[in-house]
């Protein structure tokens, strides 16, 4: 694990846990707001309603997918903290810059490897 002060690692852990709660709440809200999944929606709808429902549903599915990906990244970072591999680049094995981890706690690549990956 990166030689982060315990206080910094605790702060990052709290940020990750808070963000995970927010993501979970947003995912729950999406389920409630999706007009396709909402119970009790009247099938006898006005003209254009089906199109509107499909559009809103499509947008909510995209947001849900993004949030699901973020949730996985958060869980992965928390697991890495727990097992002691947090702060090591998953590509080259070098330490990820502390400033990068504080700015983006889910980072699993150092800046150098991240730049290489984004160029592909």
Confidence band, pLDDT 50/70/90 cuts, at residue 96: very high
pLDDT at 40: 55
Which three-class secondary structure string do you get for 29-94?
HHHHHCCCCCCCCCCCCCCCHHHHHHHHHHHHHHHHHHHHHHHHHHHHHHHHHHHCCCCECCCCCC
Pick the closest to residue 67 from 118, 25, 109 (CA basis): 25
3-state secondary structure of 100: helix
Q: What is the DSSP letter of 5?
A: -
How much is the pTM? Answer: 0.82
At residue 34, the pLDDT reads 85
Task: List pLDDT tens digits, range 59-81.
Answer: 999 999 999 999 999 999 999 99
Homologous superfamily, domain 6-119: DksA, coiled-coil domain (1.20.120.910)
Residues 18-33 have a mean pLDDT of 94
> Residue 39 pLDDT > 80, yes or no?
no
């Amino acid at each position: 694990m990166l030689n982060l002060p315990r206080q910094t690692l605790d702060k990052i852990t709290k940020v990750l846990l808070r963000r995970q709660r927010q993501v979970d709440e947003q995912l729950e809200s999406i389920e409630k707001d999706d007009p396709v999944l909402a119970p009790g929606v009247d099938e006898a709808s006005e003209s254009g309603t089906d199109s509107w429902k499909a559009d809103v549903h499509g947008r909510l599915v995209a947001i849900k997918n993004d949030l699901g990906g973020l949730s996985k990244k958060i869980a992965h970072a928390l697991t890495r903290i727990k097992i002691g591999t947090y702060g090591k680049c998953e590509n080259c094995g070098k330490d990820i810059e502390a400033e990068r981890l504080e700015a983006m706690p889910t980072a699993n690549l150092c800046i150098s490897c991240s730049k290489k990956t984004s160029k592909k």
